[in-house]
Amino acid sequence: MSEKFREGSGIRFQYTTTLNPFILKVKHVKERVVFPKEISYMIRIRDVGLHLKNRPVKYPQITGLGYRALRLTNKARNTLKKSASEGGLTIERVQQFDSRVDSLWDDVKDGYNFILEKTSGYLNWRYLDPRGGEHVAFQAVDDSKALGVIVIQISRDDGYLEG
Along the 163 residues of the chain, how does pLDDT read in single tens digits? Answer: 566 766 777 766 556 566 666 666 665 555 566 666 666 667 777 788 888 888 888 998 998 899 889 888 888 887 776 554 456 788 899 999 999 999 999 998 888 888 888 899 999 999 999 888 888 999 999 888 899 998 988 777 776 766 6
Backbone angles phi, psi at 161, to 5 degrees: -90, 140
pTM, two decimal places: 0.53
Backbone angles phi, psi at 48, to 5 degrees: -60, -45
